[in-house]
């Protein structure tokens, strides 16, 4: 071997040795170039305050695999969502929340394998860019799920670090034995190892993921299971996200019934939190789902307590009001498909102060509750029911028990309800239109109204232009309700619109208004200037 060859070989060896110490990542794939948005970012007025656009947001949560199938392979996809933006716009929602779209192990996708690629079947990066572009051109926003608490145990860095303390990624996870084969995980699920957020590399990686998707035009993120992420990291994460785009929102999922547990997350962490205490009041506890106010099984005083919890939060705290989502039984199932009780839920969610959340399909009363076995959760995420026949264009078929849920000719489909007078869809549409056209329902004052009826709840929304009275009878009996309006800050009398029944109602000048409410009645009355 001549000297030159020996030197070359040695150098190769040295280089290899050096390389093995640098990051030879089983690297996440390269992102497509970012697509500029058509909406300029909205500056925040204070570091804690949510962007102005979010105060007008009506969230529409979509499970992409279950919404609309554009290429007839049985799986809902991103082009499918783009093709149904007209539908969402017709309903009136203006902010899409997409549940996880990244490559993942499970069908729902919180267990991310690669934060840079989309789950096969959902579409390409171009498809996502197009969805964002099309949404923005309609002045709609797109919020994505971004799980930062954990990765999949199939995530490349986890696989590299498992059973290998010398791995460059050892410090990315929270090992509980020296061999690095036991670790802390979310809800003790081996598939969801918790990240070590104290590690600077983990911090900068997650921030980089967020920045990359923001530069692709996404308007913000929902962070699932935020209670499993240290506050220090959430504050850092917020700073980085707001620096990249001050108009981006961060929505936090802290699924806890206790407002005191939620309060800290409003401090420089999230723009808004899902109002779990309100959800539990309406729906009942997770163990006894159905035992809540929507079924007349708790009292309006509980609703007062849930709403008054806001006093524990920062003054700028935004709450996302919901009566159901991807991880709960659907509203229709919760109330035994009682149409009047479904309307109560819609009325509350869309007229209480805060940001309303509509889970896809709830606007047509789709049922869905926890099943059994490995696909238990998927019964809550079945195919959007587009057609009267339950078949045809766009219908998603990947869920094998779909036929049990998407029944034909049951009056639960977009085709049977959209633009049909008196349908649940039209009720949602009416509420959303009121909210869109009258700022008072977005950020007007709120005040409950005293009434002797123990199963009723009534409140006012008012500003200089409008005055709304919401009254709900949660019981199965007719109630005659006398509402004391003498203490309202605005003197309202005379005829107003009865938006739920049609026609007009008239308020007496003495401020005591008697309303006859049928069983399960949910009323919205409006007085203009």
Sign of CA dihedral 142, 148, 150, 151: positive
In the complex, what is the shortest distance from the CB of residue 328 to Ca ion, in angstroms, rounded to a whole number? 21
- Asked if residues 398 and 74 have their Cβ atoms less than 8 Å apart, the reply is yes
Question: Which contacts (CB < 8 Å, 24+ apart) does range 66-74 have?
Answer: 66/360, 66/381, 66/382, 66/383, 66/384, 66/396, 66/399, 67/360, 67/384, 67/396, 68/384, 68/386, 68/394, 68/396, 69/394, 69/395, 69/396, 69/397, 70/394, 73/121, 74/396, 74/397, 74/398
For Ca ion, the closer of residues 260 and 391 by Cβ is 391
For Ca ion, the closer of residues 254 and 405 by Cβ is 405
Angle between helices 424-437 and 339-351 in degrees, nearest 10 = 10
DSSP 50: P
Q: Among residues 503, 509, 493, 494, which one has the least CA distance to residue 523?
A: 503
For Ca ion, the closer of residues 275 and 342 by Cβ is 342
Measured from each CB, the residue nearest to Ca ion is: 77
For Ca ion, the closer of residues 4 and 400 by Cβ is 400
Which H/E stretch holds residue 102? strand 102-104
In the complex, what is the shortest distance from the CB of residue 67 to Ca ion, in angstroms, rounded to a whole number? 10
What is the C-alpha to C-alpha distance for residues 168 and 177, in angstroms, rounded to an integer? 17
For Ca ion, the closer of residues 199 and 387 by Cβ is 387
- Spell out the residues 6+ positions from residue 289 whose beta carbon is closer than 8 angstroms to its own: 283, 328, 329, 334, 369
For Ca ion, the closer of residues 76 and 147 by Cβ is 76
Helix ranges, 248-362 (H): 259-262, 276-283, 300-308, 331-334, 339-351
What is the C-alpha to C-alpha distance for residues 148 and 479, in angstroms, rounded to an integer? 49
What is the C-alpha to C-alpha distance for residues 381 and 330, in angstroms, rounded to an integer? 9
For Ca ion, the closer of residues 121 and 353 by Cβ is 121
For Ca ion, the closer of residues 38 and 134 by Cβ is 134
In the complex, what is the shortest distance from the CB of residue 389 to Ca ion, in angstroms, rounded to a whole number? 8
For Ca ion, the closer of residues 412 and 499 by Cβ is 412
In the complex, what is the shortest distance from the CB of residue 412 to Ca ion, in angstroms, rounded to a whole number? 4
For Ca ion, the closer of residues 74 and 371 by Cβ is 74
- Asked if residues 384 and 68 have their Cβ atoms less than 8 Å apart, the reply is yes
In the complex, what is the shortest distance from the CB of residue 419 to Ca ion, in angstroms, rounded to a whole number? 17
- Asked if residues 338 and 520 have their Cβ atoms less than 8 Å apart, the reply is yes
Token pair 């019964």 in the structure block, residue = 379
Q: Which residues bind Ca ion (CB under 5 A)?
A: 69, 71, 73, 75, 77, 385, 407, 410, 412-413
In the complex, what is the shortest distance from the CB of residue 465 to Ca ion, in angstroms, rounded to a whole number? 40
In the complex, what is the shortest distance from the CB of residue 406 to Ca ion, in angstroms, rounded to a whole number? 5
In the complex, what is the shortest distance from the CB of residue 323 to Ca ion, in angstroms, rounded to a whole number? 21
In the complex, what is the shortest distance from the CB of residue 385 to Ca ion, in angstroms, rounded to a whole number? 5
Sign of CA dihedral 389, 391, 393, 394: positive
Cα 53 to chain centroid distance, Å, stands at 16
For Ca ion, the closer of residues 407 and 438 by Cβ is 407
What is the C-alpha to C-alpha distance for residues 109 and 357, in angstroms, rounded to an integer? 21
CA dist list (Å): 249 to 67, 94, 100, 312 = 24, 14, 16, 22
In the complex, what is the shortest distance from the CB of residue 393 to Ca ion, in angstroms, rounded to a whole number? 12
In the complex, what is the shortest distance from the CB of residue 225 to Ca ion, in angstroms, rounded to a whole number? 28
């Amino acid at each position: 071997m001549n000297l030159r060859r020996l030197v070359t070989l040695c150098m190769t060896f040295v280089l290899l040795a050096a390389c093995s110490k640098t990051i030879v990542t089983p690297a996440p794939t390269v992102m497509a170039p970012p697509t500029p948005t058509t909406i300029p970012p909205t500056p925040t007025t204070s570091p804690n305050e949510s962007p102005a656009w979010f105060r007008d947001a009506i969230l529409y949560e979509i499970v992409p695999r279950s919404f609309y199938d554009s290429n007839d392979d049985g799986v809902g996809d991103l082009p499918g969502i783009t093709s149904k933006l007209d539908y969402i716009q017709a309903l009136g929602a203006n902010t899409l929340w997409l549940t996880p779209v990244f490559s993942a192990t499970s069908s729902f996708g919180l267990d991310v394998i690669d934060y840079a690629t989309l789950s096969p079947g959902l579409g390409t990066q171009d498809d996502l860019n197009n969805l964002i572009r099309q949404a923005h051109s309609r002045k709609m926003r797109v919020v994505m799920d971004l799980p930062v608490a954990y990765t999949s145990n199939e995530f490349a860095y986890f696989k590299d670090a498992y059973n290998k303390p010398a791995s460059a990624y050892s410090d990315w996870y929270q090992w509980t034995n020296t061999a690095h084969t036991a670790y802390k995980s979310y809800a003790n699920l081996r598939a969801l190892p918790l990240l070590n957020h104290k590690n600077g590399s983990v911090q900068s990686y997650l921030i980089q993921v967020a920045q990359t998707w923001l530069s692709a035009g996404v308007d913000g993120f929902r962070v699932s299971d935020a209670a499993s992420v240290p506050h220090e990291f959430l504050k850092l994460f917020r700073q980085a996200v707001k620096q990249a785009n001050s108009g981006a929102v961060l929505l936090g999922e802290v699924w806890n019934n206790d407002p005191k547990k939620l309060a800290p997350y409003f401090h420089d962490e999230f723009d808004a939190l899902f109002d779990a205490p309100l959800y539990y009041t309406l729906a009942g506890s997770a163990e006894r789902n159905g035992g809540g106010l929507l079924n007349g099984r708790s009292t309006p005083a509980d609703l007062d307590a849930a709403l008054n919890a806001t006093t524990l939060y920062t003054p700028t705290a935004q709450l996302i009001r919901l009566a159901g989502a991807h991880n709960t039984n659907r509203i229709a199932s919760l109330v035994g498909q009682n149409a009047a009780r479904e309307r109560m839920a819609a009325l509350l969610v869309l007229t209480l102060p805060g940001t309303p959340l509509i889970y896809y399909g709830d606007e047509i009363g789709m049922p869905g509750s926890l099943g059994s076995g490995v696909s238990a959760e998927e019964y809550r995420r079945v195919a959007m029911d587009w057609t009267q026949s339950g078949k045809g264009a766009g219908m998603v078929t990947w869920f094998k028990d779909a036929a049990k849920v998407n029944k034909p000719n049951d009056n639960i489909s977009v085709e049977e309800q959209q633009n049909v007078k008196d349908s649940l869809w039209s009720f949602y549409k009416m509420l959303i239109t009121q909210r869109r056209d009258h700022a008072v329902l977005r950020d007007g004052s709120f005040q409950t109204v005293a009434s002797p009826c123990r199963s009723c709840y009534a409140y006012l929304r008012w500003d200089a232009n409008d005055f709304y009275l919401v009254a709900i009878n949660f019981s199965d009996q007719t109630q005659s309700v006398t509402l004391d309006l003498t203490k309202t800050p605005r003197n309202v009398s005379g005829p107003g619109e009865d938006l739920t029944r049609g026609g007009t109602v008239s308020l007496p000048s003495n401020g005591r208004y008697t309303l006859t409410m049928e069983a399960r009645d949910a009323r919205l009355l409006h007085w203009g200037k």
